[in-house]
Structures are given as C-alpha cells and as structure tokens.
Structure 1
Amino acid sequence: MLQRRTFLAGGLSAVALTGAARLTAQAAPGDSAYVMGYFTESPSKLADRYALHLAVSPDGLTWTPLNQNNPVATPTAGTGGLRDPFIMRKQSGGFVVLATDLTGTDFTRQNQYIHAWDSPDLRSFTGYRRLKMHSMPTHTWAPEAFWDAARGQYGIVYSANSGGRDGIWVNYTTDFVTIGAPQLFFDPGFNVLDATVHVGSGTNFLYYKSFTDGRLYGARSSTLNPRSFTTYTSGVVNGGIEAPIVVKANDRNEWWLWGDSFSPVNGELYAWRSGDINTNSWTPLTKAQYSQPLNAKHPTICPITATEHANLLSRWGAPAWNRIKSYNFPDHVIRHADNAARIDPYPFDPYQDSQWRLVAGLASSSGVSFRSVNFPDRYLRHAGYVVGLAANDGSAAFAADATFHRVPGLANGAWTSFRSHNFPDRHLRHANYVLRIDPISTTADRADATFQIGY
C-alpha cells in the first residue's frame, strides 16, 4: 500500500489516492504450498525494514517467517529501500521479483522506476536492476506482473497519477529488461488503490479499493486487455483496509482475499474466504483461522511446490523463537510488559516482548520454559500463582516455577495448553488479560487456558 492523504477539519480524511494492481501468480500442477513476500513496519518504527522478507506456508493461512524474519534481499540503487514486493514464477522457470522503489513513507516523492531481481528458486537473487516505466511526473507504486497468453507477453502493472487521478497503468515486456510504453489499464473514473487481479480460465478477476466509499470491490473481464474490467460486486468490507490480494487454494475451489491495514499503528493483515469467487460472497476469517508474519506489510503470495517449500526452509531457516496466540482472544498474544506477563492485541512495540524461546524445562527436560528473546536471562515463572518475567536465580524453586508441560488444548485439542510442573492441578491461563496458573473447571476457564504456538 502506498498513499497520499489530506485531512479536513475534525480529523476526516479526504483521500486523493493511489492505486496499483496486484496480479496474483496462478497455481501450476504440482504446486502445494505458498511463499509470501513483504516488508516490515511496526507502531514505533522498531521493525521498519524496507527490504524483501519471505515466509512460507503449507496451507496459505499459517505462515513461517524465514531468516529469523530478517531481509533476504535489499536494493542497492535508487532510494535504497523497497515497499510492496511482488513474486511471480516466470513462464521459462524461476521467479521474478518486483518492488516499489521507496524507503520510508515519503509518498510525495516522484519516481519513474521500480526494482527488479531474478531468482532461480528464491534462495538467491541475481540481476538486480531498476526498470524505468514511464516519464510522467508522478510515482510508480506497487508493481506486479501477469502473463498475458494472448499477447505472449508479461504485463507489468503499477499505480501512477495522470490528469489528477490515480489509475492502474501497464507496460508489456517479454524479459523484464526491455519495457514497452505505458498504457492505462484500469480507471473506473475515481481514485482507486491496490487492485488485485486473479488470472483465471475464461474469466479474470480484479479487486481494488475505492476511495469513493472506502470499500473493496471486485471487477471481472473475459480478457486481460487494458480498460476491459467491469465491477460486479458490492463492497466487500468498509474500513481501513487496502492492498488486497486474491489467492486460490492449490487443491480445491476455495479463494482467499487478503487486505492490509493502511497504518503500521494498526499494522495487521486481514483475510476472507469464498467457495466461489463468482458469487460475490466473502466471509471474514478470524485470527484463530490464520496468522501473519511478524510486522508484515503489503504482502504478495505466490504458489510453490512442496520441494520449494522445503528448500526455502532449509536455505533460510525457521525462526528460533515463537509467538503464542490466545484461543478466545486470537488477536492477542502472550507478551511481557514491565515484567508482568499478559496477553495484548497485536501489533505493539517493543514487538520483541512477544517473542519467546521455548527451551527444555528448567526443572524437567520433558517440559518447557519460556525464555524471553529481548531479556534472555529472564523466564516466565509463577509466584503466588501470578505469572511474570524474572531473572533465573539458579534455584530449584525458580526452575520448578518456570517449567510447564505441553498438553492438548483444553478448549481445542489442535491447540496447546500448559500444565504447571510443580502445581500439576493448575494450568497457565489468562484472567483479565493477565497470566496466572489456576485450576481449570469451566468452559470459560478452558478457553482462557488454550493457546496456539506460532510465529
């Protein structure tokens, strides 16, 4: 997402805005997993990294960040930073990566260029270059690409402003080196933001955010020709959501629509599902049904094979830390704050307060202890049944208080609960958002004591 905003009296936003088409790569025979590309931001800018990050998922909903959630590629020219990365498998094999040439949030900056890399397998990145897309005195935001079989060319789409209105522009290419002249691709007559196109068999779908009413809409076309898409849905969602992408499940007729909140202060991703994209029916998913990479912004999702999924994990590695989600408050994660242990809604800074190394239990190797990432000499331990963060004093009492045993989730066996080592009739739970160990007897208690270990 990239945007320009002006503000009216009373805090109302009059948005004169960007748009950029996000063309999701299509699954091919053999694809059974997914890779996500993104950059990172957090509320107090502690996680602001304008470079390419990667995460993988076997199901398209639960994501594992790679390389400890650190960048895997960083631009070396232009502004030296990127936003809005896009990953696509090329017809000849291998991948192309495109991105906006912009670091930080200076959305007034004019730039006619985008970043580009080639990659055989997303384990290395070569041929870095900047591509000039046009000569207009405007931006070039959220570039993506699609294969137009009828033309035998790729279309690179992006947002640019012409005549005082942001629309979606396209340049055609065969090699992502030599670029054709810009053409207007999508312009419904008003400012739009971050359109996403799914290239289908017979029908192609374009989703975008309208700044007439702030809603996400879907359009469709029997071709991929410029100016051929017509809106066919009512508004999917109203609110501070943008940067939509459409992804089809690799193995069934199920679709996901992802959206990004426009501010790092509310920097989270949202998801909806549909059993038939033609029906104008999207159901929101809860945070219990999906996850996102930590601090991820404006992502791209590309289908990959199981072998590629395994190779990416082998090359970059899964995180050495975990985040732990509440079952009945799935937008909340376990964190420490002033040494108190609690659950709070994501996102927040310092984001490291929610990162834990689940190590062998200090009192029993069959259990686990929660070691803080940003205070590595401190662990979660209970005292007077209340759980807090404390430095390990080496005592047997501390070790016992800081050790828990994983058991199937008391409210959902696919999740996890944690039984106290030295008070085995008590489990870790939250009460008024504060962590403690208590006996568990009611349905509400079981929900409070159930968690999901993720990233």
Structure 2
Amino acid sequence: MLTYSEDGYHWKDLDGPFLKPTIGNDSIMRDPSITRDKNGTYHLVWTTEWRGGNGFGYANSKDLVHWSTEKYIPVMEHEPEVVNVWAPELFYDDEADRFIIIWASTIPNRFEKGEEEEKNNHRMYYTTTKDFITFTETKLFLDPGFSVIDAVIVKRAKNDYVLVLKDNTRPMRNLKVAFANNPLGPYKNISEPFTDFLSEGPTVVFTNEEWLIYYDNYGAKNYKAVATQNFKEFRDVSDSIQLPKGHKHGTITTIDKSILQGVLEKEHK
C-alpha cells in the first residue's frame, strides 16, 4: 500500500497493492522500507517471514508502478540457528555512495538477556551494497545490552547521525534514540524513552525545520507522531497528523511530482 503527503502531516491513500509479495516461506510483506538512489531508482526491502527465515525481500522501481522481479536476500544464511530477520531498514549513505541495510535477528544463547526468552533476544545486524547484487559480509550493528528491534538511521549533518530504536525488553517496549559520528556507529548515549509502553515501527522525515517521528502506538491501537529539533526534546503532534485507517509500520521517502502523477494515474485506471 502507498500513501502520499504534500506537507508531511496529512496523508492520502493510493490504494494498491502495487507490489504483491511472492517470495519467502510465508509470502508476506511486512515492515517495508523504501529509499531512492542518486539516479532516481527506488529500492524496497521488507520482512518475508514472521519466524524461520534467514533473509528479506527486495525489489526496485523507477516509477513506483512497475517493479522488478522480487528477490530474496539471505543475509543470515551463515547462522543456522537464526530465528528471524525482522524489519530490514534501508539507509542511503551519500558520502560513501552505498546502501546500508540494518535488521533485527535473534540467535539463541548468543547474548546476555534480561526477562527475554532466548528466541526473543534481538540484536541489530547490517550489510552494505552498491548494487543489490553484491553484499558485504553480515556483521553486528548494535548490541546495546538489551533486546533491540526497529532501528532507523537518520543523518542530521556530516559526522552527525541519530539512531531511532525500539527497546524490545519486556519492561520497556518503547522508542529511544542514540547518537554517532558515523552511520555504522558505534551509537552511544542511549536516551530515556520518548514514547509510551508498547510502541514500535518508527519512521522519520524532516519538514518545517524539524524532524517528525511517526510510530505505531500499538498498545493503544493508534498511530502517533512526535516532532523534535534536537532529538532530546519531543513534542507530541499526533493531533496534527492524518493517515488512512489501519496504517502501521512503514517508511517515508521523497518523490518527484511526476512520479506521484504516474501513481495517481495508475490508481484511477
């Protein structure tokens, strides 16, 4: 499903689906992450299995209407005990002209845990690619000492990066931020939570001289947003946003008006 906005606050449904999942054991498409490269091609990754997979789905498009053949990227095939590959998130590193892909996986008995079950003790991993054909070796991206999922890299300026993450421990299950001078980290100074208990799935967009962080406030069964200028003070702007009913974990990217026009024409055919 696609939605669009001209101000970053009010979103309209574009119907769909524009791409139906056909790969993975469960043939599902959860937690989609999309971004555009320097040549205007959009790249999309998504979760293909709730449990049991060792990779994620991938496809690309130049117009968001016509898509490439879907491909399964088995980034954790070297870990036979891996439980899952959740919420792959794309980040285009413009300084190195590469894509960084991060995701959450559980490998039982690999890390210390608190109240988590061994099959729910996640850490963040990553790989990089320039062409989505060749990928660097999968490595550990973030081990904050607790179960973590749903992380998003944000570039504020050169050598200034923020990571929005979900502390997935049983007592917390809310969103926090951390900071680094490199997109690959190490991310430090993890904040106190800025969202309620039972919230996840952040996506971030810059508009009106501040950052908006959208997230799924699933405990209360609604979708919320906060605004921030420094990732230290957060203002609830949920009353100012409007999204189609049922919207959950997704990502925001920018598009040209010509791309939007093509999608609108496809919608009305």
How has the CA–CA distance of structure 1 residues 60 and 149 changed in structure 2, closer, same or farther, with 3 Å as cutoff?
Answer: closer
What code does the residue aligned with 1:170 have? Y
Instruction: Give 1:367's aligned residue.
Output: none
Q: Moved runs in structure 1, 4+ residues, more than 6 A?
A: none
Q: How far did residue 179 of structure 1 move?
A: 2.1
How has the CA–CA distance of structure 1 residues 290 and 317 changed in structure 2, closer, same or farther, with 3 Å as cutoff?
Answer: farther
Query: Which structure dedicates a bigger proportion of its chain to strand?
Result: 1
Distance 2:216 2:22 in 1: 27
2:22 aligned with 1:62? no
Deviations 1:278-319 (A, max 9, x none): 4x11111133x111122122111111223323332222249x
2:69 aligned with 1:133? no
Instruction: Give 2:245's aligned residue.
Output: 294
Distance 1:286 1:200 in 2: 23
Which residue, 36, 39, 57 being the options, matches 1:115? 57
TM-score (norm 2): 0.86
Residues 179 and 188, structure 2, Cα contact 8 Å, conserved in 1: yes
Deviations 1:127-177 (A, max 9, x none): 311111112222111112112345442111111113143111001111112
Instruction: Give 2:113's aligned residue.
Output: none
Instruction: Give 1:271's aligned residue.
Output: 225
Q: Secondary structure at the match of 2:238?
A: coil
Instruction: Give 2:17's aligned residue.
Output: 71
Distance 1:87 1:312 in 2: 16
2:134 aligned with 1:178? yes
Larger of the two Rg values belongs to structure: 1
Instruction: Give 5+ residue unaligned stretches, structure 1.
Output: 1-52, 319-455
How has the CA–CA distance of structure 1 residues 77 and 214 changed in structure 2, closer, same or farther, with 3 Å as cutoff?
Answer: closer
TM-score (norm 1): 0.52
2:178 aligned with 1:219? yes
Deviations 1:239-259 (A, max 9, x none): 22111122111xx41110111
What code does the residue aligned with 1:157 have? I
* Correspondence list, 1:232-311, <5 A: 232-249=190-207, 252-262=208-218, 266-274=220-228, 276-278=229-231, 280-287=232-239, 289-311=240-262
Q: Secondary structure at the match of 2:255?
A: strand
Deviations 1:179-229 (A, max 9, x none): 22111111111012212221231211111122253332111111112x411
Instruction: Give 2:162's aligned residue.
Output: 205
2:31 aligned with 1:84? yes
How has the CA–CA distance of structure 1 residues 157 and 66 changed in structure 2, closer, same or farther, with 3 Å as cutoff?
Answer: same
How has the CA–CA distance of structure 1 residues 286 and 298 changed in structure 2, closer, same or farther, with 3 Å as cutoff?
Answer: closer
How has the CA–CA distance of structure 1 residues 305 and 229 changed in structure 2, closer, same or farther, with 3 Å as cutoff?
Answer: same
Deviations 1:48-101 (A, max 9, x none): xxxxx101111111111113xx41111122221110011110123210111000
Which residue, 248, 266, 269 being the options, matches 1:315? 266
Percent identity over paired residues: 24
Distance 1:314 1:277 in 2: 39
Instruction: Give 2:66's aligned residue.
Output: 124
2:41 aligned with 1:94? yes
Distance 2:221 2:247 in 1: 8
Distance 2:92 2:163 in 1: 15
Distance 1:232 1:209 in 2: 11
Q: Secondary structure at the match of 2:124?
A: strand
